[in-house]
Amino acid sequence: MRKKTFAAAALLAAATLTLSACGSGDSADTSVAAVSEENGKQQAATVLDQPFTKPDLVLTDTQGTSYDLRKETEGHPTLIYFGYTNCPDVCPLTMSNIAVAKKQLSKADQDELRVVFVTTDPDRDTPAALGKWLKGIDPQVVGLTGKFATIQAAARTVGISVEPPHKDKNGKMVSTHGTQVIAFSPKTDGGYLLYGEDATVDDYTKDLPKIMKGQNP
Amino acid sequence: MRRPAAATAVVIAGAFVLAGCGSDGKAELSVESPYIPQPVSDTMAAGFLTVVNKGGAKDELTSVTSAVAGSVTLHETVGSSMEEVTSLAVPAHGQLVFKSGGNHLMFEKLKRKPVQGETVDVELHFAESGPLKVEIPVESAVYSPKTGH
């Protein structure tokens, strides 16, 4: 009787050890990641001390007509994003987040806001292809295409680095998208806020009314 | 006298099951929090999920198949461009995470556009373990697993 109790206790101890060894490995990584995500989630926008000048960019819109970015968006709150339509993940998510947040604004504010999507893959993103894709997100979004070199140079002036589309070793096209959305103030026309790709629809919904007035969120 | 004997038997059985968990060097895979954001394009979509490995051996995700897509490929994000890869490691006692801005499944040549509220059946194939069937729910285009909506 006494012996059996001891054996049971020993087995129980062994079982406890095995359990903890089994369980500890997979939780370590995730808890660290969760903590850092929580910390970064306070404020989606980065406010720039030195706002970007709006790029001097003339490209072709989805109707096939010439679009002068500075002229068309002057005095309007403006969001600019560089991406491409053959992008399954970040580009449609970013544009959909903005589109859904925009719909929470008054009709007048929606008409006042300019959302500009500049393609980084102009060979595939023709005016027609861009128009079709943007219609699925928000027909008010301005889609621009043109020469890649022109787009790349304009992107560089607002701190966005994009590489020319190229074929990978399997012969598939690889394009790059910008990692940030830039918000321009209607008061100064300066690009004063940056949003990373982890900005959610809630972040944009919260911040857009401020951007409409050129205020910091 | 009877009760302690029964208790001992239960503990022994428990110990055998537990020992199987960590020490015999096999991957034990399951899938958590899968979703597909409703795509904008009617030809391509992204999918996200986490493969959890509770076992003591690593494995590799080597391919994904689905009846809704002509091809499903594995991509990892390098800087701001995505690169197709032929396999992704699932570490022992670890996980392989697909999330927006990082690794993603790319569904191409879609036979129909997945719509929010539907589910998409996929099968994950591994180097060592048997295939895993997953029903992936289609969420809104702006779904974020962090907020759950």
Residue A126 CA to chain centroid, in angstroms? 22
Q: Which residues pair with B72 in a beta bridge?
A: B107
**Where exactly are the structural domains of chain A?**
1-42, 45-212
Question: In the prediction, which pLDDT does B77 show?
Answer: 80
Q: Does residue A108 sit at the B interface (CB-CB below 8 Å)?
A: no
Give the range among A14-23, A145-154, A185-194, B133-142 with minimum mean pLDDT.
A14-23
pTM of the model: 0.78
Give the range among A31-40, A47-56, A145-154, B65-74 with minimum mean pLDDT.
A31-40
**Where exactly are the structural domains of chain B?**
25-139
Residue B42 has pLDDT above 50, yes or no: yes
| pLDDT tens per residue across span A2-55 | 444 445 444 444 444 444 444 434 443 443 434 344 444 478 999 999 999 999
Give the range among A7-16, A62-71, B24-33, B65-74 with minimum mean pLDDT.
A7-16
Pick from A9, A26, A16: nearest CA to B19: A16
Separation of alpha carbons A163 and B83, rounded Å: 14
SS3 sequence of chain B: CHHHHHHHHHHHHHHHHHHHHHCCCCCCEEEEEEEEECCCCCCCEEEEEEEEECCCCCEEEEEEEECCEEEEEEEEEECCEEEEECCEEECCCCEEECCCCCCEEEEEEECCCCCCCCEEEEEEEECCCCCEEEEEEEECCCCCCCCCC
Fold of B25-139: Immunoglobulin-like (2.60.40)
Share of chain B above pLDDT 90, in %: 69
Separation of alpha carbons B59 and A47, rounded Å: 44
Q: Does residue A68 sit at the B interface (CB-CB below 8 Å)?
A: no
Question: In the prediction, which pLDDT does B29 show?
Answer: 97
Give the range among A11-25, A122-136, A150-164, B42-56 with minimum mean pLDDT.
A11-25
Q: Which residues pair with B124 in a beta bridge?
A: B64, B132
Contact flag A7-B79 (C-beta cutoff 8 Å): no
Which of A39, A89, A169 is the best mutation test for B, with the most CBs of B within 10 A? A89
Contact flag B80-A176 (C-beta cutoff 8 Å): yes
Pick from A59, A73, A182: nearest CA to A125: A59
DSSP string over chain A: -HHHHHHHHHHHHHHHHHHHHHHHHHHHHHHHHHHHHHHHTS-SEEEEEEEEPPP--EEE-TTS-EEEHHHHHTTS-EEEEEE-TT-SSHHHHHHHHHHHHHTTS-HHHHHH-EEEEEES-TTT--HHHHHHHHHTT-TTSEEEB--HHHHHHHHHHTT---PPPEE-TTS-EE-B--S-EEEE-TTT--EEEEE-TT--HHHHHHHHHHHHTT---
Q: Which of A12, A18, A161 sits opposite B22 (nearest CB)?
A: A18
Question: In the prediction, which pLDDT does B24 show?
Answer: 58
Residue B10 has pLDDT above 70, yes or no: no
Could you tell me the CA-to-CA distances from B91 to A66, A181, A197, B65, B145 in Å, in that order? Answer: 52, 35, 27, 22, 23
Question: Which residues are within 8 A (CB) of A192 and not within 5 positions of it... i.e. 6 or more apart?
Answer: A47, A48, A51, A52, A183, A184, A185, A214, A216
Tokens of B25: 């060097």
ipTM confidence: 0.73
Sign of CA dihedral A75, A77, A82, A83: negative
Q: Which of B12, B44, B54 sits opposite A88 (nearest CB)?
A: B44
* Average pLDDT in chain B: 86
Q: Which residues pair with B71 in a beta bridge?
A: B108
DSSP string over A84-109: -TT-SSHHHHHHHHHHHHHTTS-HHH
Contact flag B8-A162 (C-beta cutoff 8 Å): no
Q: Which residue has the tokens 């992008």?
A: A87
* Residues of A in Cβ contact (< 8 Å) with B21: 18-19, 22
Q: Which of A25, A133, A162 sits opposite B40 (nearest CB)?
A: A133
Max intra-chain CA distance, chain B: 70
CATH number of A45-212: 3.40.30.10
Question: Which residues are within 8 A (CB) of A51 and not within 5 positions of it... i.e. 6 or more apart?
Answer: A185, A188, A190, A191, A192
Contact flag A177-B8 (C-beta cutoff 8 Å): no
Residue B67 has pLDDT above 50, yes or no: yes
Tokens of A185: 């103030």
Separation of alpha carbons A26 and A32, rounded Å: 11
Distance from the B133 Cα atom to the nearest Cα atom in chain A, whole angstroms: 22
Contact flag B15-A86 (C-beta cutoff 8 Å): no
Pick from A179, A57, A157: nearest CA to A114: A57
Separation of alpha carbons A50 and A155, rounded Å: 17
